[in-house]
Structure 1
Amino acid sequence: MEHPKLFEPGDPLVQRVRELCLDLPEAVEVEAWGRPTFRARKPIFVHTGSSMTRPYSIVIKTDPEEHPALEQDARFFHAPYYDGARWLGIDFDGPAVDWQFLAELIETSYRQVAVTRQLNLLELARPRGLGYSS
């Protein structure tokens, strides 16, 4: 069964998410379920479009220490099929979107699934603690 595409080609909001994701070492885009997913080679670290009713959202894997606080933040929600393993969704449309914050969430999600070699490449590119530089 082929899933319908959730986004039009060249969608500017999806393109912005794409740029943030593909800036990470060895990140690749794979279409799955009619949506762009972003992977650290194989494991997913960002899934766009959590559902048909929330298309402009991303699902990310949270840091274990930050997860409880993020669950209490009204901007986050539990996405279908991702509950139970520190995955949360957040919308990325509207005028109040904090793209710096989304970039940090995306990088944190990447760090949760990346292998040591990829993490080492990321540390060389932007050492942790110095903030997102893109």
Structure 2
Amino acid sequence: MLARLRPICLGLPETYEEPAWVGIRWRVRKRTFAHVLTAGPDHQMAATDEPVCVMTFRSPGDEIEGLLSSGHPFYRPGWGDDVIGMVLDGGVDWEEVGELLTESYCLLAPKRLAAQVERPLG
């Protein structure tokens, strides 16, 4: 999963990757716009009996309910009003992941940096 996420995240202006308390996160300035980790039954990330790779990211308020109402792979991680979780499994739509991470970045990046990003129409 990291091999697929790195080019998306590090392709955005002035981003960097670093270890988080668990997993890996990508940041712009000192703001985390994506975090990926392996969550097991002992984590309150996604309801699962097996370890699963999950990603959290930011989403605009008007999109949150739409993502959550679609069900799997999206879930509410339980912190932050604008934070969404996504299970990264064999059915991942990488184009959608790219769009979601770009949007997350643009929500947290300074306006000057966000203006440099080409966003998909839609």
Do both share a fold (TM > 0.5)? yes
SS state at 1:121 partner: coil
RMSD: 1.9
TM-score, normalised via structure 2 length: 0.81
Q: Name the structure 1 match of 2:46.
A: none
Output aligned runs, 1:42-53, within 5 Å: 42-49=30-37, 51-53=39-41
| Among 58, 61, 64, the residue aligned to 1:64 | 61
1:2-46, Cα deviation, whole Å (9 max, x unpaired): xxxxxxxxxxx1111111100111111011113110011210000
The partner residue of 1:90 within 73, 86, 93 is 86
Matched, 1:101 2:96: yes
Conserved? CA contact 1:48–1:55, under 8 Å: no
Please state how far the C-alpha of 1:129 moved relative to its aligned partner.
Answer: 4.1
Give yes or no for contact 2:77–2:85 (8 Å, CA) kept in 1: yes
In structure 2, C-alpha distance between the alignment counterparts of 1:27 and 1:47, rounded to whole Å: 13
Q: Gapped runs of 5+ residues in structure 1?
A: 1-12
What residue is the counterpart of 2:45 in the other structure? none
User: Which consecutive segments of 4 or more residues in structure 1 shift more than 6 A?
Assistant: none
The DSSP-based 3-state class of the residue aligned with 1:66 is helix
Distance 1:117 1:38, change over 3 A: same
Tell me the amino acid that sits aligned with residue 46 of structure 1: A
In the alignment, is the contact (CA less than 8 A) between 1:64 and 1:86 conserved in 2?
A: yes
SS of the residue 1:109 aligns to: helix
Q: 2:115 aligns with which of 87, 111, 120?
A: 120
Normalised by the length of structure 1, the TM-score is: 0.75
Q: Which runs of 5+ in 2 are unaligned?
A: 42-50
- The 8 Å contact of residues 37 and 53 in structure 2, kept in 1 or not, is answered as yes
Aligned pair in 2 of structure 1 residues 24, 69: CA closer, same or farther (>3 Å)? Answer: same
**Residues 69 and 50 of structure 1, relative CA distance in 2, 3 Å threshold:** farther
Alignment counterpart, residue 31 of structure 1, candidates 12, 16, 19: 19
Q: How much does 1:55 deviate?
A: 4.2
**Identity over aligned residues, as a percent?**
30
